Amino acid sequence: MSNYRPPVSDLAFVLEHVVGYPDVARLPGFEHADLATVVELLEQCGDFMANVVAPTNQPGDVEGARRQPDGSVTTPASFKPAYRQYVDAGWGSVPFPEEFDGGGFPWSVGLAIQEMLASSNMAFALCPLLTQGAIDALLHHGDQAQKLRYLPKMISGEWTGTMNLTEPQAGSDVGALTTRAVPRADGTYAITGQKIYITYGEHDMADQIVHLVLARTPNAPAGTKGISCFIVPKFLVNDDGSLGEHNGVNCLSIEHKLGIHGAPTCVLSYEDATGYLIGEENLGMRIMFVMMNSARLSVGTQGLAIGERAYQQALDFAQERRQGLAIGATGVNSAIIDHPDVRRMLLTQKAYLAALRRLMLFNAVHMDRSTHDPDETGRARANEIVGLLTPICKSFGTDLGVELTSLALQVYGGMGYIEETGASQHYRDVRITPIYEGTNGIQAADLVGRKLGIRDGASVTEFLSTMREVEAELADAGDEFDSIRLELGRQFDTLETATQWMLRTGRADPNAVLSGSTPYLRMWGLCTGGWLLARSALAARGIDDAELAETQLVLARFYAEQLLPQSGGLFGAATAGSRDLFALDAAALSDSARLRQNAPLN
């Protein structure tokens, strides 16, 4: 099994030349985060992840998290010391406000750190990721006393956080939750109920866990309108900031999962636990979406991250494994990297990963602009772009994460199916990413149901027009860019046609657009990836680095000629409507009904 190599050079190239990070560094509040400082920080972070966190990945998978008879949970032996070093180094605090002892760096820098952390060990990385969501919610909606009490130690990583949304009977239907929050005379609430799938809901890596819990107060409206959000710490916090008595929250069990074995996924029971209301009653959904939106971009980045780790190992294996004799080669056998189909698999992984990295960072840069641009119009437009791209990043990133780790396993052949090589762990670990933080079907529904209609469709059509500006740049760049320009133009045309169909059809027949939402979202992912790779190829030709320019051109051309055409093939599915999806009832979908009807008489 090969070691992890942090892709710092590509991260630096993308930040500087493709997604516009230098403009972010000039925004108010980010003056200290100039590109040179950021690149140096990422180099140091990459070294830490490769040397401290990455070695915990396979041992953590083998050992797993374990619930003890007393209800406590122990993580793999290597996790706790690695997490202590992570906290001491301050990597989790980098993108959070200096007011609460954070580093004050842009979110785009934090996302680059997250990629390297998740590549190193996804199960380990989930603990800081869930804490991040809880921090975001408190930053946006907590009162000053709550912020001062919880944020400094959560930002440092000394305390961790969770998001408690799902319940056994509710699943993704958050409006069906039944956890109760009963007001007390002292202003706190008594929280009672059960939550499932709570990542790092109990563990031994930190002294305190700050749970953010969705619950209903008495007489709250039904559905999502009646949900409130509460801080429910594992230990009550004394006035001096020290930890007091254990709160009424306990871990009933942890799940036995396909992957991410080192990360405990807990069933938590709340019995008259003390909770503190965040904001006002019945605003829980608004707070939840603050937690979820940044988490969704982070989960999309996990797909990229695990795909990158799997690709690196497959690339190393392809150079070491000798089998068969390549065309034109001499000797007994060749390294399998010399066979065309293995090259196809490796280049497919590399091109898709490059597209994903650019897409994630492009979105993150607009997140920074949406909060720090001094111009109100600029902030509003950046926020629209973030809204459009977030479901695409989450779904396209995680779908490709699964596909690319599967492709990496295929490079190994039979050896990939054997646990000792490590290839199968990545496939098992990444499979959860299209499911959690809102399934990819929910992301597609969000895209067509909420995001396309912003400003009566003007927001999305403006973004399409912005992407199409690259066609003129490609035309001016020379003949070697022609195939990229032609294929992008064809696919932009098709995406525009599909978008207009969605906008026309949505109000009259929402079932039709929802039926085509998943292939439509995939079209967007493919086209934005091709657009950003084209921008990379154009940017690289202006740098005095012939190898870089050739690499970026080959990736953009391969993607345009061999991967991007899939987008046009999805047009039929995106615009087919719902007729055939609902033409067969449940009985007709099962052959057993027909078999019973045709059974011979005795």
pLDDT tens across 125-179, in order? 999 999 999 999 999 999 999 999 999 999 999 999 999 999 998 877 888 999 9
Backbone dihedral region for residue 187 (phi beyond 0: left; psi -120 to 50: alpha; all else: beta): left
Pairwise CA distance, residues 291 & 130, whole Å: 9
Tokens found for residue 468: 């199409």
Tokens found for residue 491: 């696919």
pLDDT digits (tens, 9 = 90+) for 416-449: 999 999 999 999 999 999 999 899 999 999 999 9
The predicted pLDDT at position 599 comes to 61
> What does the mean pLDDT of the chain come to?
96
The predicted pLDDT at position 160 comes to 98
Q: Residue 294's pLDDT band (boundaries 50, 70, 90)?
A: confident
**DSSP per-residue string spanning 474-530:** HHHH-GGGHHHHHHHHHHHHHHHHHHHHHHHHTTT-HHHHHHTHHHHHHHHHHHHHH
> Residue with structure tokens 């007011």?
99
The predicted pLDDT at position 593 comes to 53
pLDDT at 409 over 70: yes
Please say whether the beta carbons of 46 and 8 come within 8 A.
yes
Please say whether the beta carbons of 552 and 507 come within 8 A.
no
Mean pLDDT, residues 225-249 taken together: 97
Which pTM value belongs to this model? 0.96
Please say whether the beta carbons of 112 and 42 come within 8 A.
yes
Pairwise CA distance, residues 234 & 207, whole Å: 9
The predicted pLDDT at position 600 comes to 64
pLDDT digits (tens, 9 = 90+) for 39-78: 999 999 999 999 999 999 999 999 999 999 999 999 999 9
Please say whether the beta carbons of 93 and 103 come within 8 A.
yes
Pairwise CA distance, residues 76 & 439, whole Å: 28
Q: Which residues of 455-472 are buried (b: 16+ CB within 10 A; e: fewer)?
A: eebebbbebeeebbebbe
Q: Residue type at 339? A: H
Q: Residue 288's pLDDT band (boundaries 50, 70, 90)?
A: confident
Mean pLDDT, residues 238-247 taken together: 96
Which has the closest alpha carbon to 133: 310, 289, 347?
289
Pairwise CA distance, residues 541 & 273, whole Å: 60
Pairwise CA distance, residues 154 & 241, whole Å: 13
- Fill in the DSSP letter of residue 447: I
Percent of the chain with pLDDT over 90: 94
Return the bridge partners of 160, or none. 209
Pairwise CA distance, residues 16 & 525, whole Å: 22
Q: Residue 595's pLDDT band (boundaries 50, 70, 90)?
A: low
**E strand or H helix that includes residue 66:** strand 66-67
Q: Is 437 a catalytic residue?
A: yes
Of the listed 115, 384, 437, 487, which one is catalytic?
437
Mean pLDDT, residues 572-590 taken together: 94
Tokens found for residue 259: 């992957």
Please say whether the beta carbons of 310 and 144 come within 8 A.
no
Lowest-pLDDT range, 169-183, 206-220, 231-245, 470-484?
A: 169-183
The predicted pLDDT at position 292 comes to 80
The predicted pLDDT at position 99 comes to 96
Pairwise CA distance, residues 237 & 244, whole Å: 5
Q: What would you report as the CA-atom Rg of the chain, rounded to the nearest whole angstrom? A: 25
Pairwise CA distance, residues 408 & 425, whole Å: 11
Q: Residue 602's pLDDT band (boundaries 50, 70, 90)?
A: low
pLDDT at 1 over 90: no
Mean pLDDT, residues 387-414 taken together: 98
Q: Residue 543's pLDDT band (boundaries 50, 70, 90)?
A: very high
Pairwise CA distance, residues 320 & 429, whole Å: 25
Tokens found for residue 13: 């190239």
Q: Residue 592's pLDDT band (boundaries 50, 70, 90)?
A: low
Pairwise CA distance, residues 354 & 366, whole Å: 19
The predicted pLDDT at position 258 comes to 97
**E strand or H helix that includes residue 212:** strand 208-215
- Fill in the DSSP letter of residue 33: -
The predicted pLDDT at position 175 comes to 86
Q: Residue 352's pLDDT band (boundaries 50, 70, 90)?
A: very high
Pairwise CA distance, residues 426 & 313, whole Å: 10
